[in-house]
Amino acid sequence: MWHGWDTRENSDSYEKDFRTEVILGILAKCIKGIKRIKLMGGENASEVEFLTTAWFDGRGTIKLFIV
């Protein structure tokens, strides 16, 4: 899991960049064993919190992911 925050004004850009650059960049590495990556968000009066969750086949896949 990973958490990120941004202002409400920048949140659309943050989400777009995260989906198109970060998530697609991870998937482009073609690491076998990454099952799913999901980005979720929630907001309050001043900021938006993003929570990213990734599912892996096992520890070996996680090691490949963090290298």
In 3D space, the residue among 1, 15, 8 whose CA is nearest the CA of residue 48 turns out to be: 8
Which domain, by its residues, includes 12?
Answer: 2-66
pLDDT tens across 5-30, in order? 899 898 899 889 988 998 888 888 88
> How many folded domains does the chain comprise?
1
Q: DSSP 3-state assignment of 34?
A: strand
**pTM exceeds 0.75, yes or no:** no
What is the CATH classification number for the domain harbouring 24? Answer: 3.30.70.100
How confident is the model over 45-53, as a mean pLDDT? 90
